[in-house]
A and B are shown apart, each in its own frame.
Chain A
């Protein structure tokens, strides 16, 4: 991602790290930006973040035409946003406006109200000399203009007034299909859209004069600490570094099956029916990684951490001591708590800040069910590519629907994601249920074409010799070949 590539231009933080990242570092100073969105989409919150990110000498100014100041300050405090340095100019109607029995009709409101409001704004700006101004909402001026032309002229002249003073302005618009705000979008130097769809909040930048930005809809959250934005992970253009370094599983027979192990920085799909031991197999690779001092993270979408711990300890994978040593982290992802962007950010942080080398996502179905948002598969692809480019080895757990019988690698079209596909399956051999492991695809090296028997015992994973005297293995009911 292109973050702050041209360091010559100075950027103003919006107070929201994720948004700064989308804006290639922040807003360009001395310009006017439009924040648009429906009711409750977080426009005012974004504005509060923007002002609170200012240094006190920037004298941030909040001009409100709708919400009373006391209420704004209250809400900000509740979100933990520091409004101490923010000056407020209250132009919202006073309660007396409603109780006044008589209203004037001798002049139009545009004639009466506009001049004093404009005057107050001018006076306040001249007096406080703010560097950052947030105006909520510009569309109020529409009611004070006699026609669309007047409104446009007034807004342009207002923007010019601020630009002359090198003030960075964020202004909101209350847009709806009935009152479109295209005119404001044309006039602004940048446009930030906020929208809510299917319980998920999105932020999208569609215009940013003089700067690059991350396009597309990014998810955001309005929570107890205000607004958080999670930039969407785009498959980056960086060339994949293919290494030939192989990661051993620690089980010699399994390494033999893989002709040495799996390559670092590849995506491996571990597929098989429920309960066959996919997660355990993945953790076996992590156990070996821990022995080399590498850090691994498991993102569990299905099982609770305790259950994983119990099961691993029972098969001689010392997860507890690995966790204590900091070479393993198991993170349970609660359903519908995260958007795909947010999850991606979590993974990126584990990689960038904690140096994680091995990542397991357990499982793709859980990922798809648990995360909110759109285009989940595309986002998983982007995440996989991101990890690959950072030479992180990825294990994806894929549950196949059939317990036995005809073979299918994955549901849907996910198999293109994997550089390697390892499968475990049940076999019926002479009336007994056994398990076999095999490799279906390996992009960077050759592999054994035969299956081997796999057992998960209290001593650990045990893999047998090649089952070369069986046929019809993929059908699930193999036969011995009489020799």
Chain B
């Protein structure tokens, strides 16, 4: 994995997109990985019984996708300090989920180089379904 340095980053920089598309199998994998076995994520009849159009992708899985987006970008010497999102829209299995991020701020504090980003998941209609923010510390070339 390549390393991104503080000097490489400027406000407005868009980080490499991470594209996801959840099969129902991935939702079951996430159930096992997270321990969340709520049936709206794997039992279509149950999901529809609660008024949903069908199965939906777990919010926490989208949150973890955003974690992967930032992890893969910041490289082995990057430090993830903070990341989070809120859930503003549902995503469905077999639909693209684009995980994206843009640098909003960079600054140095107590000798550490911090970068803040807006991060989000985006559905095929272009709606930001899980907008959030992240803060990472990056190494310097010097």
Chains A and B belong together in one complex: no
B contact residues vs A (CB 8 Å cutoff): none
